[in-house]
C-alpha cells in the first residue's frame, strides 16, 4: 500500500528517494511522486504508473539535499497525477506526503473551501497540506506561525483518522517534519544524513540505526538526528534501535517471478521457523518470545486467532490444531470483523494476531481492541519491528524471510508451522506424553523435505491450469473439510488474486446447501482430501459433483488409490494429518502462479492489491 521515503542531509536527495521508492514498490501502488527543495523552491514530480516512469521524468542531476517521496495506492480519488502525492498547500511552499485515511475529510474540506482554499485533487491527504499551511502562515503572533513542528501539531489536532506523514517546508531546507498515528514510520540515522520511511526495508541501503515513531508522536528530523514530541507537546526520549533482520532487495534470483521464488523457498523457510524451537529430548517446544511459563500456559482458558486474507486461513488451520491437540477451545476470526462487533475479551484467553507484514490495519485494530479490554495478545508476525509486533510486545516471529510478492505463499506455511509449534507447547502442558511429543516433532521436522520433494515433482498442474483458464470456465469451486477447508479457501484466494478467476471455496459438506446449483457440465472443481478422518465424507461430496457433470481434480496423499475417483489426480507427499495443509496448499499455489502466467497477469503485483494493507 502507500509508502513514504524522505531524506535530509548533505547528500543529494533524489538518488535516495528513487532507490527508496523502488524498495517500497513491492507493497503495491498505482502512482508515485516526490518533492525536493532546490534553492528555496519546491520542485514536484508525480506520475501515474511505475516508479521507473517517474524516474525517467526526474532530471538526473536534479539538485537538492532534502526531499520527500511517496507511492500511492488510491483510496480517496482515482488514479491520476493530480491525486498522486506530494500535495502542496495554497502557497506552494509546503509539501506533504501521507499514508492513512482522514476520516473527517468532508467536514474539513468544506471548511477549508469556505475559507477560500482551492483543492487541486480529490484526495483526503491534500487537506493536511492546506491545514499545515493555514497554521504555518498564520498571522504573526500566532504560536504556530513560521514554526513547522507547531504547525503540523496544530493541524493534526483537528484531524481524525490515521496518518503517517512527512512535510517539507521551503523556508526550512534543514528539516523534515514527520508524524504518526496508526500508520508506521521509522527514522534512519546516518552520518550527516537522516532518513524517514514507512517501511524499514527502504532504509537498509543507508543505515541500521533507527528510531520507530509511536502513535501520536511528531518528529523534527535534520541531518544530525531527530527530536520527538507527543501530541501534547511533551518531549519524547526515543530509543535508538538496530535493525537486526535485514532483508535483501527483492532479487528474483534464478526465478522469473518473486512468487515462484517464494514458493520454492518454503522448505528452507519452514526449517528456519522450526529450528531451535522444538526440543526432541523433552518432546516439547520453546517459544521464548511468548515468555509463557508452564503455569501461564495452564491458565489459558481459550485461544483466539486473528488475521486477514491468507493470515486468516492460517489462523483457521491453527485453531483446529490447537483445539484438536490440546482440548483448549480455539477460534479463528477475521480481524476486520473482530473489533466492530464489540467482542467479549476473556482475560484468561490468549489471542494471537497473525500477520506477515505486521502492518495490516485491521489486525492492528483488533490488537488494540483486545488490549483496551484487558486481554493478552501476542504477534505471529514475519516482519521484525513491525507495528503489530511492537504493539503486542510479545510473540513469535515466523522467520519466512522477505516475502515481497503480493500473493502470500511462504508466510502462510510459516504461520501454520509457528502455530503448530505453539500447539505442541500447549499440548505438552495439557497432558501430551513425551513419547507423543517426540513423534509430533519428528513428523513436523520431516515436513520441509516433503515440501521440497513435492516442489521437485509437482504433478499435472498444467492440465489443471488448462481447465481453469479455459474460456468456458466462469468459476472454480474449491472444496475441503476440517483442516482442508481453510486450504480450499487459501487456494481460491490465491487463484482469484493472481489470475483474476472467480472462485468459491466451501467446506465440502456445505456444498450441497447451495453452491451445487452452480455446477454444470465441465465445471472445474478442486477437492482437497488428504488421508485423514474426514476423507470418506469429502469423497462422497466429490461424487456429488461428478454426478452433476463437474470435472474434478483431487489433491490427495501420494500412494492413496483415491486418485482414481477424480478426473485429475494430484498426489502430495504423506505427512501426519495435522500437517497436511503444509503439503496440500502447494499445488494450489502453483496453480495460481501458472494460471496467472498463462493469462499474462502481473504475477507479483496483481491489479488493485497491495502487499501490506494499512487502511481499514
Ligand atoms: O500482512 P498480512 O499477513 O497481515 O496480510 C493479510 C492479507 O492482506 C494478505 O494475506 C493477503 O490476503 C494476501 N495478498 C493473500 O495472498
Residue with the smallest CA separation from ligand 1 atom 9 is 309
360 Cα nearest atom in ligand 1: 4
pTM across the whole model: 0.83
Residue 74 is predicted with a pLDDT of 85
- Residues 436-465: tens digit of each pLDDT: 999 999 999 999 999 999 999 999 999 999
What is the average pLDDT across 302-315? 98
- Distance between CA atoms of residues 7 and 36, nearest Å: 10
H-run or E-run covering 488? helix 484-499
Q: Is 3.40.50.700 the CATH number for 258-355+393-456?
A: no
What is the average pLDDT across 272-289? 93
Q: Does ligand 1 lie within 6 Å of residue 497's CB atom? A: yes
408 CA to centre of ligand 1 in angstroms: 6
Residue 201 is predicted with a pLDDT of 85
> Which residue is listed with cell 480519488?
77
Q: Which of 3, 9, 5, 10 is nearest to 194 (CA)?
A: 9
Q: Does ligand 1 lie within 6 Å of residue 365's CB atom? A: no
By residue count, the chain amounts to: 616
- Residues 481-525: tens digit of each pLDDT: 999 999 999 999 999 999 999 999 999 999 989 989 999 999 999
Strands annotated E in 398-494: 476-480
Residue 199 is predicted with a pLDDT of 87
Q: Which of 413, 436, 412 is nearest to 424 (CA)?
A: 436
Quick one: three-class SS letters along 567-581?
CEEEEECCCCHHHHH
- Distance between CA atoms of residues 333 and 367, nearest Å: 12
Q: For the chain, what percent of residues have pLDDT higher than 90? A: 86
184 CA to centre of ligand 1 in angstroms: 17
Q: Which of 251, 238, 179 is nearest to 6 (CA)?
A: 179
Residue with the smallest CA separation from ligand 1 atom 11 is 309
Q: Does ligand 1 lie within 6 Å of residue 310's CB atom? A: yes
Three-state DSSP class for residue 327 = coil
Three-state DSSP class for residue 445 = helix
Residue 153 is predicted with a pLDDT of 95
Q: How far is CA 392 from the centre of its chain?
A: 16
Confidence of residue 599 (pLDDT cuts 50, 70, 90): very high
Q: Does ligand 1 lie within 6 Å of residue 309's CB atom? A: yes
Task: Tally the C-alpha atoms within 13 A of residue 102's C-alpha that lie toward its C-beta.
Answer: 25
Three cell numbers written together for 587:
499445488
Q: Which of 547, 497, 498, 495 is nearest to 526 (CA)?
A: 495
309 Cα nearest atom in ligand 1: 12
Q: What is the DSSP letter of 563?
A: G
Residues 6+ apart with CB under 8 A from 510: none
Three cell numbers written together for 227:
527530536
Confidence of residue 243 (pLDDT cuts 50, 70, 90): confident
- Distance between CA atoms of residues 415 and 270, nearest Å: 9
Pairing assessment for the beta strands 176-181 and 217-222 based on DSSP bridges: antiparallel
Three-state DSSP class for residue 399 = coil
Query: Pick the catalytic residue: 2, 315, 503, 545?
Result: 2
Residue 400 is predicted with a pLDDT of 92
Residue 233 is predicted with a pLDDT of 83
Q: Does ligand 1 lie within 6 Å of residue 196's CB atom? A: no
Peptide bond into 103 cis (omega under 30): no
Q: Which of 527, 452, 523, 516 is nearest to 484 (CA)?
A: 527
Residue 249 is predicted with a pLDDT of 58
> Which residue is listed with cell 502492518?
359
Residue 246 is predicted with a pLDDT of 60
611 CA to centre of ligand 1 in angstroms: 7
Residue 592, classified by CB atoms within 10 Å of its CB into exposed (0-12), middle (13-18) or buried (19+), is buried
Q: Does residue 1 carry a pLDDT above 80?
A: no
Residue 571 is predicted with a pLDDT of 98
H-run or E-run covering 547? helix 535-547
**Fold of domain 2-242:** 3.60.20
Q: How far is CA 35 from the centre of its chain?
A: 27
310 CA to centre of ligand 1 in angstroms: 5
611 is catalytic: yes
383 Cα nearest atom in ligand 1: 1
264 CA to centre of ligand 1 in angstroms: 19
Q: Does ligand 1 lie within 6 Å of residue 406's CB atom? A: yes
- Residues 345-404: tens digit of each pLDDT: 999 999 999 999 999 999 999 999 999 999 999 999 998 888 899 999 999 999 998 899
What is the average pLDDT across 562-577? 97
- Distance between CA atoms of residues 105 and 86, nearest Å: 17
What is the average pLDDT across 86-105? 95
- Distance between CA atoms of residues 365 and 360, nearest Å: 9
Q: Does ligand 1 lie within 6 Å of residue 414's CB atom? A: no
- Per DSSP, helices labelled H in 280-409 are 294-299, 309-326, 335-338, 361-372, 387-392
Three cell numbers written together for 184:
508506521
Superfamily of domain 461-598: Glucose-6-phosphate isomerase like protein; domain 1 (3.40.50.10490)
> Which residue is listed with cell 514458493?
263
> Which residue is listed with cell 493478552?
376
Q: Does residue 247 carry a pLDDT above 70?
A: no
Q: Which of 274, 269, 586 is nearest to 445 (CA)?
A: 274
**Cβ distance 314 to 403 under 8 Å?**
no
Confidence of residue 261 (pLDDT cuts 50, 70, 90): very high
Output the DSSP codes for 11-57: S-HHHHHHHHHHHHGGG--SEEEEEEEETTEEEEEEEES-HHHHHHH
- Distance between CA atoms of residues 149 and 233, nearest Å: 10
494 Cα nearest atom in ligand 1: 16
Domain with CATH 3.60.20.10 in the chain: 2-242
Q: What is the mean pLDDT of the chain?
A: 94
Q: Does ligand 1 lie within 6 Å of residue 243's CB atom? A: no
- Distance between CA atoms of residues 369 and 363, nearest Å: 10
Residue with the smallest CA separation from ligand 1 atom 12 is 309
311 CA to centre of ligand 1 in angstroms: 6
Query: Pick the catalytic residue: 47, 410, 494, 611?
Result: 611
- Residue 363 to residues 107, 114, 310, 366, 611, Cα–Cα distance (Å): 28, 37, 12, 5, 14
Peptide bond into 314 cis (omega under 30): no
Domain with CATH 3.40.50.10490 in the chain: 258-355+393-456, 461-598
- Residues 48-61: tens digit of each pLDDT: 999 999 999 999 88
- Residue 34 to residues 1, 54, 456, 460, 540, Cα–Cα distance (Å): 16, 9, 44, 47, 59
What is the average pLDDT across 311-336? 97
- Distance between CA atoms of residues 6 and 568, nearest Å: 53
What is the average pLDDT across 172-193? 94
Residue 48 is predicted with a pLDDT of 94
Residue 232 is predicted with a pLDDT of 80
Residue 28 is predicted with a pLDDT of 78
**Cβ distance 287 to 335 under 8 Å?**
no
2 is catalytic: yes
Amino acid at each position: 500500500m502507500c509508502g513514504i521515503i524522505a531524506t535530509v542531509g548533505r547528500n543529494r536527495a533524489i538518488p535516495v528517494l528513487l532507490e527508496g521508492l523502488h524498495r517500497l514498490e513491492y507493497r503495491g501502488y498505482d502512482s508515485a511522486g516526490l518533492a525536493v527543495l532546490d534553492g528555496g523552491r519546491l520542485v514536484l514530480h508525480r506520475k501515474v504508473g511505475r516508479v521507473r516512469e517517474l524516474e525517467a521524468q526526474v532530471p538526473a542531476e536534479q539538485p537538492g539535499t532534502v526531499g520527500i517521496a511517496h507511492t500511492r495506492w488510491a483510496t480517496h480519488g482515482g488514479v491520476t497525477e493530480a491525486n498522486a502525492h506530494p500535495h502542496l498547500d495554497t502557497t506552494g511552499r509546503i509539501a506533504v506526503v501521507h499514508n492513512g485515511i482522514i476520516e473527517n475529510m468532508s467536514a474539513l474540506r468544506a471548511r477549508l473551501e469556505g475559507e477560500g482554499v482551492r483543492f487541486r485533487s480529490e484526495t483526503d491527504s491534500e487537506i493536511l497540506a492546506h491545514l499545515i499551511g493555514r497554521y504555518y502562515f498564520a498571522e504573526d503572533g500566532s504560536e504556530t506561525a513560521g514554526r513547522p513542528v507547531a504547525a503540523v501539531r496544530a493541524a493534526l489536532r483537528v484531524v481524525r483518522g490515521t496518518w503517517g506523514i512527512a512535510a517539507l517546508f521551503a523556508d526550512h531546507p534543514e528539516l523534515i517534519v514527520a508524524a504518526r498515528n496508526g500508520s508506521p514510520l521509522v527514522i534512519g540515522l546516518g552520518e550527516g544524513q537522516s532518513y524517514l520511511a514507512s517501511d524499514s526495508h527502504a532504509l537498509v541501503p543507508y543505515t541500521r540505526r533507527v528510531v520507530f515513531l509511536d502513535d501520536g508522536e511528531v518528529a523534527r528530523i535534520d541531518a544530525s538526528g531527530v527530536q520527538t514530541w507527543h501530541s501534547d507537546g511533551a518531549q519524547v526520549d526515543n530509543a535508538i534501535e538496530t535493525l537486526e533482520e535485514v532483508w535483501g532487495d527483492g532479487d528474483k534470483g534464478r526465478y522469473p517471478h518473486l512468487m515462484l521464488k517464494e514458493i520454492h523457498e518454503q522448505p528452507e523457510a519452514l526449517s528456519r521457523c522450526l529450528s531451535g524451537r522444538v526440543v526432541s529430548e523433552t518432546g516439547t517446544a520453546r517459544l521464548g518470545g511468548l515468555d509463557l511459563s508452564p503455569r501461564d500456559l495452564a491458565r489459558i482458558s481459550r485461544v483466539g486467532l486473528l488475521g486477514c486474507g491468507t493470515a486468516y486461513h492460517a489462523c483457521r488451520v491453527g485453531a483446529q490444531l490447537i483445539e484438536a491437540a490440546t482440548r483448549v477451545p480455539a477460534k479463528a476470526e477475521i480481524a476486520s470483523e473482530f473489533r466492530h462487533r464489540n467482542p467479549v475479551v476473556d482475560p484468561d484467553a490468549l489471542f494471537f494476531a497473525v500477520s506477515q507484514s505486521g502492518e495490516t490495519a485491521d489486525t492492528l485494530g483488533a490488537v488494540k481492541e483486545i488490549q483496551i479490554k484487558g486481554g493478552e495478545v501476542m504477534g505471529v508476525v514475519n516482519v521484525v519491528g513491525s507495528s503489530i509486533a511492537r504493539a503486542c510486545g510479545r510473540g513469535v516471529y515466523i522467520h519466512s524471510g522477505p516475502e515481497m510478492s503480493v500473493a502470500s505463499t511462504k508466510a502462510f506455511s510459516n504461520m501454520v508451522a509457528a502455530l503448530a509449534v505453539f500447539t505442541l507447547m500447549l499440548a505438552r502442558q495439557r497432558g501430551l506424553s513425551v513419547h507423543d511429543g517426540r513423534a509430533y516433532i519428528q513428523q513436523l521436522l520431516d515436513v520441509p523435505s516433503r515440501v521440497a520433494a513435492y516442489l521437485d515433482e509437482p504433478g499435472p498442474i498444467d492440465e489443471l491450469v488448462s481447465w481453469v483458464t479455459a474460456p468456458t470456465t466462469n468459476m472454480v469451486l474449491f472444496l475441503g473439510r476440517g483442516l482442508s477447508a481453510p486450504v480450499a479457501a487459501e487456494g481460491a484466494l490465491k487463484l482469484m488474486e493472481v489470475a483474476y478467476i472467480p472462485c468459491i471455496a466451501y467446506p465440502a459438506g456445505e456444498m450441497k446447501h447451495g453452491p451445487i446449483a452452480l455446477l454444470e457440465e465441465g465445471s472445474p472443481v478442486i477437492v482437497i482430501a488428504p488421508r485423514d478422518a474426514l476423507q470418506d465424507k469429502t469423497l462422497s461430496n466429490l461424487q456429488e459433483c461428478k454426478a452433476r457433470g463437474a470435472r474434478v481434480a483431487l489433491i490427495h496423499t501420494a500412494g492413496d488409490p483415491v486418485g482414481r475417483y477424480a478426473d485429475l489426480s494430484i498426489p502430495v507427499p504423506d505427512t501426519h494429518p495435522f500437517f497436511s495443509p503444509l503439503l496440500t496448499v502447494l499445488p494450489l499455489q502453483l496453480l495460481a502462479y501458472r494460471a496467472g502466467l498463462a493469462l499474462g497477469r502481473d504475477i507479483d503485483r496483481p491489479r488493485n492489491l497491495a502487499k501490506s494493507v494499512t487502511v481499514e
